[in-house]
Structures are given as structure tokens and as C-alpha cells.
Amino acid sequence: MNSQQPSRINQIFDLLAAEIEERMQARRPPQPSAEPPVLEVPLPPAAPVQPLEALPWLPEAAAAQPPAPYREAGPAPELPPEPEPARGEEPQPVFLGPPHAARLMVRLALALLVAVVVINVPLNRHGTTLATALPESAALVVRDGLVVKEKSDEKIYVYQHDKFRWISSLDAFEHYGFTWGDVHVVEDGYLDRFEIGTPIHVLLKCQQSPHIYRLEGGARRWIRDIDTFEAEGHVWEDVRFVSCGYLRSLPDGETIPPGSGPPPQP
């Protein structure tokens, strides 16, 4: 009986080796076709295996316990699939903004636009803009046609023939073609450095009347005669012809010279 035990043990080992080899072959990845096939040597037929209970050399405790079943490793857990974008929806591009140089150019352009708007906004009721008020008086070129106004004085002067002449009324201002954009605001006392000439007035006359009137402050001032006309520095080019009805609608002012009696009606 003892002589039969090694042969049976060998048979069991052979069966176990064959089973392991078979399972390893099943798990082995397929080899490329370029490699030569592996020749499998068939094992000799094994003798029938007797049940463990029939083996007299095993302890009774070991024979009573069934062998633990062989458990194969299960497949690796699958990760959940990544969500796919909905059909018909395209991923929106992310705007990262312009590069640094482009942002700097945009800021400079906006600053220039704001500066242009600010210097052209009227500062007062006369429409004087910052563009005409900014230059310092020392930087002004004094020549014929220069129109100035001191900050604290409403009177407007124009430089003609080496003298600054006061433009006596809005009618005279518009009659000579001046605009508010022509007016340069200077500091107080600027005109003290120059000689002041005779004021610039608008002289009004209608065709049906020989009388000439000077418009000042919205009122008509009758010029008594030709001598006074010339003494005041007027010339015929200053006379503006209007309708007699317009002249009659104006209130009477002080005569030139003053105290010449009631003015005649046009």
C-alpha cells in the first residue's frame, strides 16, 4: 500500500499542473502570426482520480473539509462614460480678450475721443469752448482779426489796425461775420497792454428815411448829422439797410451826441 502512494500523488500533481497550464494558455494573449506556432506536447493520459475520502494516507480532518474552490479574478470595474455634449450644440469659444498691446491701443483711442469731446463742449452761454480758452495769452499771435474776451468781462474785442475795438452788440458781432469759436478767453487785465480803439457798431438806415441810427444794447441811437457821423469814426461801409418798420420797432436810446433833442422817427 505504501508503494502505491507516490504514484497517486504524482497523478494528482500532474492533473493540477495540466489544469494550471490550460488556464494559463487561455489567459495568454494571442501571439503575432509572424512568430512560429508553439508546439504543445500532449501529456500522457492520467489515471482516474480517486475521491479524497478514499485516500487512506490523508488525515480524517483534512478529508472531511472540501477543498476551497478556485476563484478567477473578475474583470476590472468600468469607469462611467464621460458625458457627451447635446446634439446640435457646439462648444462656445472662450473670449480671452485682446492682447496687451491691443488693449493699450483701445484705451489710448478712448482717451483721445474723450479729450476731443471735452475741449469742444461750450463752457458758457456764448458757446466758448475749451479749445479756444486753453491757449495762454502769451501764446496768442496778435494780428488783425484776433477776437478776445477777458474772463470777468462780457465785452468782446477785435484787433484792427493796431488797436482792440469793442464789438458793441450781438448785431454787430453777427454783422461782421464773427462766431463764438473765434473768441479766445484771456486773463483779466490782458487788454491793458494795448491801445483801445473806437467801438464797432452797427449803423442802421432804411431807404425811405435820411436818418442814420446806431444800434446799442437793443436800442437805436440817432446820429444827429454827418459831422458827428465822421467824428465818431464811422464810414459808409458800416451802414446796414433794413426796413423802416424794423427801425420803428426798436426803442429810442440816447442821441449822438447826447442832449440833441427828441430823435426823429424813420
Question: Exposed (0-12), middle (13-18) or buried (19+): which is 137, by Cβ within 10 Å?
Answer: middle
Mean pLDDT computed over 15-26? 73
Mean pLDDT computed over 234-240? 85
Cα gap 55→134, rounded to integer Å = 121
Binning pLDDT at 50, 70 and 90, where does residue 134 land?
very low
Strand ranges inside 16-168, DSSP E: 147-150, 156-160, 163-167
Is residue 40 within 8 A of residue 31, CB to CB? The reply is no
Helix (H) or strand (E) run with residue 133 in it: helix 130-133
Maximum average pLDDT range among 115-119, 136-140, 207-211? 207-211
Q: Is a pLDDT exceeding 90 seen at residue 235?
A: no
> What cell was used for 261?
433833442
> What cell was used for 13?
500533481
Place of cell 418798420: 245
Specify the pLDDT at position 94: 53
Cα gap 75→17, rounded to integer Å = 24
Helix (H) or strand (E) run with residue 126 in it: none
CA 243 remoteness from chain centre: 56
User: 181: closest CA among 134, 140, 139, 122?
Assistant: 122
Comparing 22-36, 168-182, 197-211, 230-244, which segment has the lowest mean pLDDT? Answer: 22-36
Note the pLDDT tens digit of each residue in 63-83: 455 555 555 555 666 666 666
Specify the pLDDT at position 108: 75
Specify the pLDDT at position 200: 86
Note the pLDDT tens digit of each residue in 169-208: 888 888 788 999 999 999 999 999 999 998 888 899 999 9
**Interacting residues of 130 by C-beta distance below 8 A, sequence separation 6+:** 118, 119, 120, 121, 123
User: 263: closest CA among 218, 217, 209, 227?
Assistant: 209
Specify the pLDDT at position 250: 92
- How does DSSP classify residue 1? -
How much is the mean pLDDT over the chain? 75
Specify the pLDDT at position 125: 52
